[in-house]
Homo-oligomer: A and B are copies of this chain.
Amino acid sequence: MGVGPRQGAGTNTAPVRVALLGCGTVGSEVARLLTEQADELAARAGAPVELAGIAVRRPDKHPELPQHLLTPDAAALVESDVDVVVELIGGIEPVRTWLLTALRKGKSVVTANKALLAEYSAELSEAADAAGADLYFEASVAGAIPLLRPLRESLAGDRITKVMGIVNGTTNFILSAMDSTGAGYAETLDEASRLGYAEADPTADVDGYDAASKAAILASLAFHSRVTAADVHREGISRVTASDIAAAKALGRTVKLLAICERVTADDGAESVSARVHPVMIPRSHPLAGVGGAFNAVFVEADAAGELMFYGQGAGGAPTASAVLGDLVAVARNRVLGGRGPRESAHANLPVRPMGQTPTRYHVSLDVADKPGVLAQVAQVFANHGVSIAAVRQRDRLSTASLVIVTHLAPDAALEATIEAIGKMDVVHEVVSVMRVEGED
């Protein structure tokens, strides 16, 4: 790499050579923008940003790309004379090996690979640190929304206490549709697949794996700690019923799948991190409630900054390419200047709090026998588990009554045990809906 530090370097500087790994929806947009916006990018980066090669599995399948740049050999391209590797293939291996090779050789890496980062960010960051190279990954969470950079840089002088957001478009589309049509989960998933909003195999989205990877990345950055996808408590949306949605509506709430990363302070002052993905009831007045369809939005709370929200498109070729290009310009600029961007740092090194010990609030909707004393019996079960009740609403029907209970904060395990005990009570005909509550005091 012959590009040395130069202040105010113009476009006479040696070009920054870029290897592009993968050229699908996002990659082809990146390749297009690199060509079309070349002058603009050079002005911003301080040197021309030059596409040196594109690794694709089958070069003959890409007649639209400059043929001399194509190669099926990603490993060789990574080892060649390039300064930056942009990885848009996804998955763990062989990508992990290629990116470690690149970083160890001092090449900077820009990637959108959330699964890889959620599992191996420690290893990748250490390789980047050791070689003085950059590792940027804005596109890995919430597509086009500038989120990681503000967390890492703009809030660098602040103390983040919570990051909570809608980070998966497929599940948000399904829950939004269930909310507006009143239809059930299976039916709505079919409709989403038909419209192209859900993959043929929707597991990664609907079971929350995708959101959990993003939660791990967000928690690591926000709290300067190492949180992997395996540390994230994960519940998907497949058990959300039309009854849950109706129960939420009746209370002026809506159901969203949220990634929630929180700094939890114990009574003795010890801090830990809670990271979880699960369906949540939030008030319709909450800014996240209005985020519909395939959009993403992330709420951040910090000591000094207060509440912030970032909203935009979470996926798609062009939006994700915009995030990749932003990173690429930053990385190229750092190389021209001979420096590195702010590192991801795990210096706080907070432990991850198990879900059972994480304070949450429950909304519980029950069908109970319509006779005196039932509320007292049910309330006693909550009390037995040390769970305090915030609000109760009771409504008579024919032979049964509907009982809605919202709790105060309690350890999740205590709430879970309460629900289990209540489900076994003779006076309880049915546990209609159980859901955690966020966004209200």
Flag the segment in A225-233, A274-282, A314-322 that touches B. A314-322
B157 touches A33 (CB 8 A): yes
Contacts of A287 in B (CB 8 A): 290, 311
Is A339 in the interface zone, CB < 8 Å from B? yes
Known: A146-B155, A297-B309, A304-B321; 18 extra A-B contacts, CB below 8 A, are: A8-B129, A37-B157, A40-B157, A145-B308, A146-B146, A149-B149, A154-B323, A155-B326, A157-B321, A157-B325, A158-B325, A304-B325, A306-B316, A306-B319, A307-B313, A337-B338, A338-B338, A339-B339
Q: Which residue of B lies closest to A292 (CB)?
A: B285
Bound CA span A155–B132, Å: 25
A5 touches B325 (CB 8 A): no
Distance between A199 CB and nearest chain B CB, rounded to angstroms = 21
Contacts of A156 in B (CB 8 A): 41, 44, 325-326, 329-330
List 10 interface pairs A-B (beta carbons < 8 Å), by A numbering.
A5-B339, A8-B132, A33-B158, A41-B157, A44-B342, A138-B154, A157-B326, A158-B326, A305-B312, A338-B339
Distance between A349 CB and nearest chain B CB, rounded to angstroms = 12
A146 touches B308 (CB 8 A): yes
Q: Which residue of B lies closest to A313 (CB)?
A: B306
Contacts of A319 in B (CB 8 A): 304-306
Main secondary structure of the interface of A (DSSP, over half): mixed
A303 touches B318 (CB 8 A): yes
Is A367 in the interface zone, CB < 8 Å from B? no
A312 touches B306 (CB 8 A): yes
- Number of copies of this kind of chain in the complex: 2
Q: A8-B129, A132-B7, A287-B290 are in contact. Are A318 and B306 (CB under 8 A)?
A: yes
Quick one: which of A111-135 are within 8 Å of B by CB? 129, 132
Is A29 in the interface zone, CB < 8 Å from B? yes
Q: A150-B150, A338-B339 are in contact. Are A304 and B144 (CB under 8 A)?
A: yes
Distance between A218 CB and nearest chain B CB, rounded to angstroms = 15
Is A185 in the interface zone, CB < 8 Å from B? no
Distance between A306 CB and nearest chain B CB, rounded to angstroms = 5
Quick one: which of A67-93 are within 8 Å of B by CB? none
Is A340 in the interface zone, CB < 8 Å from B? yes
Is A416 in the interface zone, CB < 8 Å from B? no
Contacts of A311 in B (CB 8 A): 287, 307-311
Bound CA span A130–B150, Å: 28
Of A8, A40, A156, A347, the most chain B CB neighbours within 10 A belong to A156
